[in-house]
Chains A and B, each alone.
Chain A
Amino acid sequence: MSGVWREQSVPMTDKECALLALEAIGAVVTDHSETQCSLRIGGRSWTMRHTNGRYAIRYNPRNRGSRPSWMDGLGEAYAHQIALKQERLARREQVATLDADRRAIQQERAAMETERKALIETRKATVIKQAKALGYRVKETVQNGEVRLVLVKTG
């Protein structure tokens, strides 16, 4: 084995939770549209963009020390906001007496699930495309919602 990489935090697929998480870590959102959000944090301006199925604030990871410390806090804050949203939706569903209210809650939960699935599909398709371009053969298996892509190059 020569290298192992693990993604540090859950990708941000829910815009509402992403904005609340940014607020929780002290970011000031100066402008936002459907796919882009300008913010200031740690004395710098950053842009959060919706790309490849997630909201991301990108930096150069190969430049040592470039990962801002607040990024770790953002991952935790987002996971917390997602948990809060799930709880909020469950509580609202319990007390909803009108069918219309219940349907709206179910639609909101379905939208979150759609975003999660879209992220996985986007990631899978991108990895397969890049792998083939790099000359790898790709074998895909899916088990319990986990996608495993085995890329092999011989030569």
Chain B
Amino acid sequence: MSAGGPHPPTVLGSSAHGGLAVAGHGEGGHHPRQQHHFYTMGQQLEASILGMWVFLVTEVMFFGGMFMAYIVYRTWYPTAWAASSNQLNVIMGAINTGVLICSSLTMVLAVRSAQVGSRAGQIVNLILTMMFGSTFLVVKYFEYAEKFHHGLVPGPNFNPHHVLPDGTIEHIALPLGSQLYFSLYFMMTGIHALHMIIGIGIMLVMLRWAIKGRFTPDYYNPLEVSGLYWHFVDIVWIFLFPLLYLLGYNYRG
């Protein structure tokens, strides 16, 4: 351990000069959006995309916990599962499914617009995506309200019932396990809706950037990566819809 100043750092290997010409400073300049620690824009793009995929894996595991609980309890209480699924509003669920699929289309079109350099296309499609997303949330609100009115919220107020036209209350007998179903229903769709809200927030940021002309055919990483997130949220719903809504079709209580 010698004292008196550091020695010049040695580079491993034989090339003692700077090695490859690092895209960064000087010669040709670098793209204004290239971050300092990346060698090339290509590397930056690949890193962002890999990063979003890794993040989506964590989201799969996050929802996965709830799907596991669903699988276990559905195996134990198939009748309760079917009877409870019967209580859900398939029409609203189907509308929401269609709405989300359309929103994924407009999202792709927004990314495509950036690829071909159409700022108007980006703006229109981003706004449409947000509108579809908001429609989803509005329909969800009405759905949840219906559940509240029918006493299907688990807990001390769980009291499944219809109100008949003449005002009498008709109780619905749901088997043991139904409260578990509805707990999972609210958790799964609730957390999904939360992800939608976050997605719409992200779209707002994307819209702002699109309006400012930030995305060009050679740089639209944030759009691409937000698109991946949006599609993921859509796919989760594609799983939720049949698993939650479509079980009761053959159930005759």
Do they bind each other? no
